[in-house]
Amino acid sequence: MNGIWVRIEKQTISDAYLGRDYSNDEVFREQCQNWVNELWTEKDQLILSVRESHARAVAVEHE
């Protein structure tokens, strides 16, 4: 790959998360962790998609 690809996406934090106590509120902590895990899953899917697109482009170049 000849270059760097960067994607920046602004994430809105739900009002439901504001003013809550991550350290002492187990339910809230689990909600936050689930949200962050979803973000990581989306990031992983995006990276896989980019890698697959790049591999297809390279294959076409070498045909």
pTM here is 0.73
What number of other Cβ atoms are within 10 A of residue 16's Cβ? 9
pLDDT confidence of residue 15? 92
- Under a CB-based contact definition with an 8 Å cutoff, are residues 34 and 41 in contact? no
* Predicted pLDDT of residue 51: 87
Domain ranges of the chain: 38-63
pLDDT tens-digit readout, 11-52 = 999 898 899 999 999 999 999 999 999 999 999 999 999 888
Q: How many residues does the chain have?
A: 63
Residue 1's pLDDT band (boundaries 50, 70, 90)?
low
Nearest by Cα to 22 from 9, 11, 33, 13 = 33
